[in-house]
Amino acid sequence: MHLLLLLASSVLPILSGIRSETVVSATRTGLSRVGVDSREGRYRPPLPMHVMGTRDTGIVHSAFGAQTTGLVHPGSRPKKAGFMGLTKKSREQKLESIKFLLYTNDTEAPLKIDVDRSLSAVDTKLDTKVLIHGWHGSPSNYKSIIAAYLARGNVNVIAVDWGSLSMNMDYSASKADTEVTGIRVAQLLDNLADKGLNLSRVNCVGHSLGGQTAGVVGDRVTKGVLGMITGEWENTEII
């Protein structure tokens, strides 16, 4: 227990650039190293990291009925980029297969947005939650979370649909495609930042492989630092 507390306390200063309310927990699986690019002052983990945020933990936890943990699971790190061996056309097809749905209190049905289309529908003055489902998941997994966020006040909720990649029966292939998906989400957030969105007001929430994807997003954004990354697992003992 003392070792776990020491590990967590040693990581907290590194993560100070995310949000002061962010906390980190550890299990016997342990924490892998994290890092900061001091030249840019932004969070750049060598491995995608799951960070538990106190403000949103209740909503995420109640929806999944699961534990939230601040650990890095090396086994879930893509062994190769999802673009390896692909032609330019195939790479573009993968990126374009990833869809985004915007939920707000001003609309009865979700709006389809893209990295360069319909971005004016996003109110850049509001907090923004980005939800990323896991392997064989879909945005429908987040119905209760979306409802809870919108009930709490005005907020942008963006559900990422990477089902065309996550539905692969080959888990390792979907795992590699977390890199592809993370790049696409980062493109969206960077474009929104150009329109006035403050990335420090963005919480990227992911379940299972979606949590790994959220770590990639945090690494790939270039227009600021994500306010929070929340990773959700079915249990805290990731093997």
Provide the pairing of β-strand 228-232 with 202-207.
parallel
Give mean pLDDT, residues 11-30. 30
Is the pLDDT score of 153 beyond 70? yes
More confident residue, 159 or 4: 159
Q: How does pLDDT run across 130-141, given as a tens digit for each residue?
A: 999 988 988 888
**Could you tell me the pTM of the whole model?**
0.67
For residues 1-16, average pLDDT: 33
How many angstroms separate the Cα of 61 from the Cα of each of 9, 66, 69, 168?
A: 23, 6, 11, 27
For residue range 84-118, list pLDDT tens digits in order. Answer: 556 656 677 888 889 999 999 998 899 999 998 89
Q: Which of 13-17, 27-31, 219-223 is predicted most confidently?
A: 219-223
pLDDT at 86 (0 to 100): 61
Name the more confident of 194 and 134: 194
- Rounded to whole angstroms, the Cα distance separating 59 from 203 reads 13
Q: Identify each DSSP E strand in the chain by its residue range.
A: 22-23, 36-37, 42-43, 52-53, 99-103, 111-113, 128-132, 156-161, 202-207, 228-232
Average pLDDT score over residue span 147-155: 94
Query: How far is residue 117's CA from residue 121's CA, in Å, rounded to a whole number?
Result: 9
Mean per-residue pLDDT for 219-238? Answer: 75
Q: What is the pLDDT of residue 120?
A: 94
Q: What mean pLDDT is reported for the chain? A: 69
**pLDDT-based confidence at 172, cuts 50/70/90?**
confident
- Is a pLDDT exceeding 80 seen at residue 154? yes
214: pLDDT strictly greater than 50: yes
Given pLDDT bands bounded at 50, 70 and 90, which one contains residue 207?
A: confident
Structure tokens at 109: 């049905």
